[in-house]
Amino acid sequence: MNIIDNKIDTILVIDDEKDIRTAIKDYLELRGYRVITAKDAIEATKLLDREVFSLIISDICLQGMSGLDLLHLIKEKEIDIPLILMTGYGDMEKVMDAFKNGAYDFITKPFDMNEMFISVKNAVDKQRLKWENIQYRLHLEEMVKKRTTQLKIAYKNLEDMFLGTVRIVINTLEASDRYTKGHSERVRQYSIKLAKKLGLTSQEIRNLEIGSILHDIGKIGIDKTILHKNGPLNNDEYAIIKTHPSVGKHILEPIEFDEKIINIIYQHHERYDGQGYPSGLKRDDIFFLARLVTVVDAFDAMMSTRPYRNQLLAEKAIIEIDKNLGTQFDPEIGKNFIKLFNTDHSTMDILKHYNKDGKF
C-alpha cells in the first residue's frame, strides 16, 4: 500500500489500562486520526507486522515487554515510526534512556489531552513529510531513469536514421562502381564478427559499426573518373585517392561524432609500420578500432575484383594478411582475423558474398 495515498494517519496506542486506551482513541479519532489499541507490547508487535502506523503512543510501564523494550525492538527491526512514551512521575531516568534510543517525545501521566494532541500532531505531520520526501525522491529517481532511457532511445533512433541515410549515400557511391559494390557493408559485418571474437564492449562495437560503414565516406569528394578508372592509377591520381580519409574526417566534423568514430575513418589507411597515410602513425599510436578496420578493409579489397589488378582468392587474401602482419597490419588483430576465418564456422558467412572462385 502506498502510505501517502492513505489520507488518514493511523496511530497505535499501547496501554495496559483499558480506560486510558479508550480515552486516547476517542479523543484522537474525533480529530481525524484512525486509532488502533493494544494492551501490551506483544500484541503491539503483531499489529506492527501487518499495519503501517504513523505514530506509536506507548505507556513506559507495560506488563511483560516494557515500552522501552518495544523502543529497542523497533530500532532493531529498523521500523521507521516515531514513538511517544507515556510516563509517570519519577521515571526521568527511563525517559533519558528512551530519548537516547530514539523516542520522539514523552508525556507525563496524568496528562492534558490538548497537550498530548500537540505532540501527536507534530509527530504525525513530521512523519508524513518524511514519507512524502522519500516518495518524491523515489519518484524523481524513477523519472530520471525513465527520461534517460527515453533520451537514449531517441538518440539511438536519430543515429540509426542518420546511418540509414549514410548507407544510402554509400550504397549509391559504391553502386556506381561494380568493383566496390557492397564493400562498406561487408567491412561492417566482418568488423563486428572480429570485434566480438576479441571481446570488445557493446559501445566499442557500436562505434566500430558506425566507423566501418563510414570509413570510405571521403570518396564522395574524389573525382569519379579517378575513383572508377579502368587501369592502374598514376602517382597524381593515387595522391588524390589518398586524400579520402582526410576528406571523410572533414565531412563528418560538423556532426560532432564521437572522436573514436572519426579516428576509424581518418586512420583506416595507416600502417602498423608507420608507412601508411595520412599521418604515418605507428603501432599503438593508431587507434585500435582503426587497426581492426584496416585488416578487414584490406581483406575485402583483396577479395573484390578491382580494375587495376587481378582477383585474389580468399585463401590468397588470408596468406597476404599473414605475410603483412607487423608491417601493414597489427599482428594480434591480423592473427585473430585469420583464426576467425579458419576456425569459426559462422564466419564462413564471409564467403557468402562471393562464389567459390572468390568472385562476386
Contacting positions for Fe ion (CB under 5 A): 216
The helix (run of H) or strand (run of E) holding residue 58 is strand 55-59
In the complex, minimum distance from the CB of residue 257 to Fe ion, in angstroms, rounded to a whole number? 17
Taking the least distance from each CB to Fe ion, the nearer of 94 and 219 is 219
Q: Following DSSP, what letter does each residue of 24-50 receive, concatenated?
A: HHHHHHHTT-EEEEESSHHHHHHHHHH
Collapsed DSSP state (helix, strand, coil) of residue 154: helix
In the complex, minimum distance from the CB of residue 215 to Fe ion, in angstroms, rounded to a whole number? 6
Taking the least distance from each CB to Fe ion, the nearer of 21 and 215 is 215
- Please list, in sequence order, all residues whose beta carbon lies within 8 angstroms of the beta carbon of residue 359, skipping any fewer than 6 positions away: 305, 311
In the complex, minimum distance from the CB of residue 216 to Fe ion, in angstroms, rounded to a whole number? 4
In the complex, minimum distance from the CB of residue 293 to Fe ion, in angstroms, rounded to a whole number? 9
In the complex, minimum distance from the CB of residue 170 to Fe ion, in angstroms, rounded to a whole number? 12
Distance of CA 307 to the CA centre of its chain: 47
CA distance 337 to 177: 27
Taking the least distance from each CB to Fe ion, the nearer of 68 and 290 is 290
Q: Is 88 left (phi over 0), alpha (psi -120 to 50) or beta?
A: beta
- 107 φ/ψ angles, rounded to the nearest 5 degrees: -130, 140
Chain residue at closest Cβ approach to Fe ion: 216
In the complex, minimum distance from the CB of residue 356 to Fe ion, in angstroms, rounded to a whole number? 27
Taking the least distance from each CB to Fe ion, the nearer of 57 and 265 is 265
Taking the least distance from each CB to Fe ion, the nearer of 3 and 241 is 241
Taking the least distance from each CB to Fe ion, the nearer of 9 and 270 is 270
Taking the least distance from each CB to Fe ion, the nearer of 174 and 216 is 216
Task: Please give the grid coordinates belonging to residue 329.
Answer: 597490419
In the complex, minimum distance from the CB of residue 255 to Fe ion, in angstroms, rounded to a whole number? 19
CA distance 301 to 305: 8
- Please list, in sequence order, all residues whose beta carbon lies within 8 angstroms of the beta carbon of residue 55, skipping any fewer than 6 positions away: 9, 11, 12, 81, 82, 83, 84, 104, 120, 123, 124, 127
CA distance 217 to 166: 8
Cell 579489397 -> residue: 301
